[in-house]
Amino acid sequence: LIPAQNICASDKYHPNLQNMGDELGINTDIDNKKVSLWADIIVLAIKPQALKPVLEEIKPAINDKKLVISIAAGVTTALIEDELARGSKVIRVMPNIAVTVSEGAAAICAGKNANEEDLKYAAGIFDSVGSSIITSEKNMDAVTGLSGSGPAFIFPIIEAMADGAVHEGLDRENALKLATQTVLGAAQLMMTTKKHPGELKDMVTSPGGTTIRGLQKLEENKVRFAFMDAVITSARRSKELGK
């Protein structure tokens, strides 16, 4: 999508830069302002708590021709626009950790000065490492709770399923392998068939069989409620971070 020689990463922590430069073949620098002057597109891949000092640092380098893409959770485009020069084009993105294996899920929204071309460009970047949707900013906190935090909710499920199999005598390595493939396969089945998850669940569930007994136990322990509550709680925390 973008040649390595056209990418420059900036980080105050020198070992990070050394590793990125060596592994990816990209340019590196410790000066955020210098990198922002050089770049047409600036990606703010930093924690929300660390965002304001970086915005102050790069502000002199930003104009209405440059595109700023932020992946800082909970931070609105308006907040970033207010910190930068008037007319700054800002795109907000909520990706997740699965971008590291090109299976990420990302939601993208535009600030008041960004246009359709800017949105398409941002979507192209994140579609190259998974899939993306374009949405309105009012939905971004919900997205953060769902796909941003979501992988962390799935990992304990995989571990717990494997633990159940280990309890029943299966070795740990094979239990984890099967649990992981089960989750991957279920997701792929939904993506391929586009069937509702309830319909696919019913396809696996025979009257009086093993699966319905397991589902009964999940309902007994309010597992679906727990997942809903986890997403809602994470989304509300995202709103708090944006204040």
Annotated binding site: 32, 45-48
Exposed/middle/buried for residue 160 (C-beta within 10 Å: 0-12, 13-18, 19+): exposed
Instruction: Sort strands 41-44 and 27-29 into parallel, antiparallel or unpaired.
Output: unpaired
| C-alpha closest to that of 184 among 163, 166, 160, 158 | 158
Alpha-helix residue ranges (DSSP H) falling in the chain: 14-24, 32-38, 51-58, 77-83, 116-127, 140-143, 150-167, 172-193, 197-204, 210-220, 223-241
Write the secondary structure of 121-183 as one string of H (helix), E (strand) and C (coil).
HHHHHHHCCEEEEECCHHHHHHHHHHHHCHHHHHHHHHHHHHHHHHHCCCCHHHHHHHHHHHH
Task: Give the residue ranges of the annotated binding site for NADPH.
Answer: 32
Task: Give the residue ranges of the annotated binding site for NADP(+).
Answer: 45-48
C-alpha to C-alpha distance for 41 and 92, rounded to whole angstroms: 13
On whether the CB atoms of residues 48 and 240 are closer than 8 A, the answer is no
Cα 139 vs. chain centroid, distance in angstroms?
14
At position 70, the amino acid (one-letter code) is S
Paired with 110 in beta bridges are: 91
